[in-house]
Structure 1
Amino acid sequence: MTVSQLSLLALLCAVLAVAAVALVVREVRGRVPDPAKPPSRIATRVQRAKAELPEAWQRRWRHLLITAGAVTLVVWAYTGWPVHGLLAGGAVIGLPYLLHPGSAAQARIERLEAVASWLNHLAGVHTAGISLTQTIRASAKAAPAPIAPNVRALAERLRAGMDPSAAFAQFADELADGVVDHVVLLFQSHAVYKGPGLADALEALAVTIHQQAADARDVEADRSKVRKSSRMVSTVVFVVVIGCMLNKAWSAWYYTPLGQVVLAVLGAAFCWTLIWLRRIARTAPDPRLLDPLPTSVPATAGGPR
């Protein structure tokens, strides 16, 4: 490498190091989101990607990001080439998704079952004669784990005086599932018309959602064998690539500027293939019935499509 290339590489490493340190400090300190403010599009995508992992990995999300950043810097510094470091960091982040290809579908099933259980709880509390907003606020502490953060955020919005229809619409946006939209439409309708029979409607909707979750479990049982084969193939390819990169006799050409470009293209193509396989094997949520809320303005009630 020439002196100018080394200087540029050193500058890029310094920028990446500063960004990594800032990310580490931000993640370690943590953030307290404003429940009345809709999350940004990037934050929403990050939360959905995080939700596709098993609960144990979700608790280690910050450690995973910190480890990926550290691995990126170490490999970059060791090899002297940026693409090697970026691919190593990406491999650290992608490893949990590779090991748990069906976690997204399992998480959705558990979320549906949690929604159904929550509706049953709401129906039982609402028969005591309190309002829907009071019922939701009272249920926040006992909400099932898969939807507990969303229910608590909804309760905080209602407690802060936010318009109920807007708060319900934001709750639907967070879960982004047509099944939840049915629940939100029921909430919004009752908030406007205050009609009787809400407890019966909640119980009937809970039975329907429980049945949808049971059907989804049957489908996922058939898909598990295919996912297991896909995971084994991906793991073998991953190990072979690592072995080739560690053997400089095979990978010496990639330690050149042109080789870095080719390696970046091959790495991006491999990542895209894994993402594509994961998407086609994913059980898609039911189509949305409510228009997504804009992310740049305060939440307003979403209308039906």
Structure 2
Amino acid sequence: MGVMVLSTPLAALLGAGTAFGLVLLAVGLSRRDGGPADSAADLDAEPWWSRLTASRGPVDRRRVALCLAVGVVVGAVTRWPVAAGLAAAGAWMLPAIIGPDRDHARRVARIEAIATWTEALRDNLSAAAGLEQAITASAIESPEPIREEVARLAVRLQRSWRLPDALRGLADELADPTADLAVAGLVMAARGSAGQLGDVLGELAASARAKVASRQRIAAARKRNRTSARVIVGATLAMAGMLALLNRGYLALFDTPTGQLVLLAAGCCFTLAFAWLGRLMRDRDASRILAGAAVPDESRTVPT
């Protein structure tokens, strides 16, 4: 079988096309609405490959552009279309695996903010004339991670929304199991089942802080996995770079179509392994009890 020789422009073009296709495939598999309508049954019905690469956030166009740029550069340097596609896929996946766990930090900050807000709401109940007044007062100095959501809740109440509907809107925006518990207690209180609401809010705040401590312990254990992933990625990239610079002839077999297929098979094995590792390192919250609880707009205001 003859050697496949590609010119630099053709290699760049093929690399860009391959990288663009793989990035679109990754985005298509990982793109999820992340809305409140997602339920445990819906997740169980998803294909295994969709759950493997599930992503909660919206697609970052700059990130996609960066992945494509990496693919084009690698394709132009190596003249291997498969290497270009694998480089683009790696640029998409690896930051979440070997980089800092920013998603964990955001989740922990939000849970702590929910605990602080429920404590403030409990304290305001003793001085306020009612639950709505206590919520409005708590919005003034609510914690930063949930300040916008609580402020919108206060605005809804000022616009004469029914209190249970406004609270469900808050749960819909926060989209957090811990927030659902607090909102469920407030909804019950709004329907006349207040009981010992202050004590319930205090217990919810304590539970939220215990959850934060548990997440911190889990994050400390996951640091070892991230360190191992960094070592593997670093050693693999360093070895490939040294071979490409110091002994290009050793890699000449990859210039053939058969070599490209072998490279694709090896790259797919690495991709699946890192995707699985990323799935293991993701936080898994309990199912939300108020998922999809938001009501239509026409039923939210108090009738006159």
TM-score range, shorter chain: 0.5 to 0.7
Q: Is the 8 A contact 1:72 1:88 kept in 2?
A: yes
Deviation at 1:260, TM superposition (A): 4.0
Work out the percentage of aligned pairs sharing the same amino acid: 30
Deviation at 1:182, TM superposition (A): 1.5
Task: Please report the RMSD computed on the Cα atoms of aligned residues, expressed in angstroms.
Answer: 4.8
Deviation at 1:209, TM superposition (A): 1.4
Structure 2 CA distance for partners of 1:82 and 1:14, relative to 1, 3 Å: closer
Q: Is the 8 A contact 1:181 1:288 kept in 2?
A: no
1:271 has 2:263 as partner: no
Q: Aligned ranges for residues 79-228 of structure 1 at < 5 Å?
A: 79=78, 81-100=80-99, 102-129=101-128, 132=131, 135-136=134-135, 139-140=138-139, 142-148=141-147, 150-151=149-150, 165=164, 168-169=167-168, 171-172=170-171, 176-193=175-192, 195=194, 197-228=196-227
Deviation at 1:298, TM superposition (A): 6.3
Unaligned residue ranges in structure 2 (runs of 5+): 25-33, 39-49, 298-304
Structure 2 CA distance for partners of 1:222 and 1:202, relative to 1, 3 Å: same
Deviations 1:30-89 (A, max 9, x none): xxxxxxx958989xx654489xxxxxxxxxx66544422332344345555543333223
Q: Secondary structure at the match of 1:193?
A: coil
Deviation at 1:213, TM superposition (A): 1.8
Counterpart CA distance in 2 for 1:108 and 1:273 is 25
Q: Which residue of 2 aligns with 1:70?
A: 69
Q: TM-score, normalised by structure 2?
A: 0.62
Deviation at 1:206, TM superposition (A): 0.7
Deviation at 1:132, TM superposition (A): 4.5
Counterpart CA distance in 2 for 1:253 and 1:40 is 50
The residue type paired with residue 278 of structure 2 is R
Q: Is the 8 A contact 2:121 2:135 kept in 1?
A: yes
Q: TM-score, normalised by structure 1?
A: 0.62
Q: Secondary structure at the match of 1:188?
A: helix
Structure 2 CA distance for partners of 1:213 and 1:14, relative to 1, 3 Å: closer
Q: Aligned ranges for residues 22-33 of structure 1 at < 5 Å?
A: none
Deviation at 1:2, TM superposition (A): 10
Unaligned residue ranges in structure 1 (runs of 5+): 21-36, 51-60, 300-305
Structure 2 CA distance for partners of 1:109 and 1:253, relative to 1, 3 Å: same
Structure 2 CA distance for partners of 1:245 and 1:147, relative to 1, 3 Å: farther
Greater shift after overlay, 116-125 or 81-90?
A: 81-90
Q: Which residue of 2 aligns with 1:24?
A: none
Q: Which residue of 2 aligns with 1:30?
A: none
Q: Which residue of 1 aligns with 2:45?
A: none
Q: When the two structures are aligned, how many residues end up with a matched partner?
A: 267
The residue type paired with residue 270 of structure 2 is F
Structure 2 CA distance for partners of 1:243 and 1:144, relative to 1, 3 Å: farther
Deviations 1:232-259 (A, max 9, x none): 2343234334545666434444444554
Q: Aligned ranges for residues 212-291 of structure 1 at < 5 Å?
A: 212-244=211-243, 248-285=248-285, 287-290=286-289
Counterpart CA distance in 1 for 2:16 and 2:220 is 47
Counterpart CA distance in 2 for 1:174 and 1:87 is 36
Higher Cα radius of gyration: 2
Structure 2 CA distance for partners of 1:79 and 1:208, relative to 1, 3 Å: same
Deviations 1:145-189 (A, max 9, x none): 444455456566667777655564565456554333322321332
Counterpart CA distance in 1 for 2:78 and 2:155 is 50
Q: Is the 8 A contact 1:170 1:293 kept in 2?
A: no
